[in-house]
Amino acid sequence: MNELIANGVLVQESDVAQADRAVAPSMLWHSGLLAGLAWIAFGILTWGVPNHVVGFTDWLYTKELGVAGVLVGAGLLLFSTSWAQRAGGTRLQELRPYGAWLVAVPVILGLWEYFTAKTGLLPVPFFAPPQSLIDVYIDDWQRLGGSVVNTLKLLAIGVAYGAVVGFLVGVSVGWSKSIGYWVHPVLRVLGPLPATALLPLTFYFFPSSYSAAIFLVALATGFPVAVLTWSGIASVSKNYYDVARTMGASEWFLIFRVAIPAALPQVFVGLFMGLSASFSVLVTAEMMGVKSGLGWYLTWAQGWASYTNMYAALIVMALLFSGLISLLFLVRDYVLSWQKGTVKW
């Protein structure tokens, strides 16, 4: 048995190894094991239990969904072992915070599957099982994908116009007292007005429903961007300007190199609020008049009483809008990397 000297004390190597094992955390991922069992149970429920047949047809892709659940569960069981955790390194360790969600998702899917496909307690066609969504994504992907593209196009144009105009208005109002004298009351009176309330007027004044929708999205985006940019410009410390002036800074230098960089955190808060507001306006405009997009798809599915298509579109819409918000966060972190640790949402 080898001996080690630690802090002048002679100890046995076996004692050190035992102490290390005592303080080292267990590599076994217990939440992952529970999640794996939950996914396997969901797969067995979906594949093994017969469906409650409605009318003259059965639900498609039931077997495929059940097999997928079992495979996901088997993979989680494998990844949860001590050997996989050590071999996977940091990549598998990143899954640990999501252990509770990996358990909750199959439980929710299992309840959904049980109350729809297996027992029919939730009536058709208002409710459909998870495998029916697979049918929509496979058979109607062209119409649904085209709606996603059209929604992104309309949203990009409207948000771009609204963000640019709102930013310019906010900088002007926050910097110039004379401009603020005229624009500030307009923002206070017309700004809180919901953009959707202007739907009848916009459809009358604009040549097409598509251009009217762009205007409404831009309006919903521009107001919070203008207000938050104006607030950010107005709240910049006067000491920054004094220091810059003593070094010979011009008026344009103060605006572009002092005021705007200092107000950027507020600008991104305005963009976040404007982007969130534009989603509801966008869907409403598409449902009311625009002949394309996810809002139009929802109206079309409702007209045919195809509630499964509605659920599929809602899931796509949720993932799409959530992804855009996450993308905005990434852009903010990149642009404001010089303020890392000082700006928190």
At 301-321, the pLDDT tens digits run: 988 888 899 999 999 999 999
Q: Each residue of 8-21: b (16+ CB within 10 Å) or e?
A: eeeeeeeeeeeeee
Percent of the residues in the chain that have a pLDDT greater than 90, as a whole number = 42
Percent of the residues in the chain that have a pLDDT greater than 70, as a whole number = 86
At 72-90, the pLDDT tens digits run: 999 999 888 876 666 666 6
Question: What does pTM read for this prediction?
Answer: 0.79
* Among candidate residues 161, 155, 154, the one with its CA nearest the CA of residue 327: 155
Query: Cα(2)–Cα(57) distance, rounded to whole angstroms?
Result: 74
- Domains for the chain: give ranges and CATH numbers: 22-127 (no CATH), 141-339 (1.10.3720.10)
